[in-house]
Amino acid sequence: MAESSEFAAEAEAFAGKARALADEHGIDPALLRFPREPLGVAAVVAELERLQAVLERYGTDTELWATKSAEWAACLEEYDEVLEAAAELVQLPLPRLPYGSRRRLRPEERARIEALVDAKLTSA
């Protein structure tokens, strides 16, 4: 309703109410950034951004590598799982893996999926 309003004050009132309802019900504010997308898209994008921020900290804090490399590997694995979900959302086919196998994406595969997600969001 906030996006469809012609009046700035009304749009701001609707947006404020949406934020208040999100706070009241414990909805991550990041999910409100994509009102025109299905909730699945918003959830995947929010999770990708959260994991990207965690992974970036490992790149800038060299002291983490000595004690936290297992945590970094687990986070990267989780990131690949979320990217798989993102690939499905942007209709990028990924080959099926045998049951129980974990996918490990190559950097160029990650970059391709991330670019497709960005393109989907900017075209929406």
Instruction: Determine the pLDDT at residue 95.
Output: 78
* 49 and 20 fall within a common domain: no
* Whether this model's pTM surpasses 0.75: no
* 10 and 51 fall within a common domain: no
* 11 and 39 fall within a common domain: no
How many CB atoms are located within 10 Å of the residue 57 CB?
12
Instruction: Determine the pLDDT at residue 27.
Output: 67
- Structural domain containing residue 8: 1-30
How many structural domains are present in the chain? 2
* 6 and 55 fall within a common domain: no
Least confident of 58-72, 88-102, 107-121: 58-72
Report residue 66: phi and psi, to 5°.
-65, -35
pLDDT band at 44 (very low <50, low <70, confident <90, very high): confident
Instruction: Determine the pLDDT at residue 51.
Output: 86
pLDDT band at 14 (very low <50, low <70, confident <90, very high): confident
* 24 and 61 fall within a common domain: no
pLDDT band at 56 (very low <50, low <70, confident <90, very high): confident
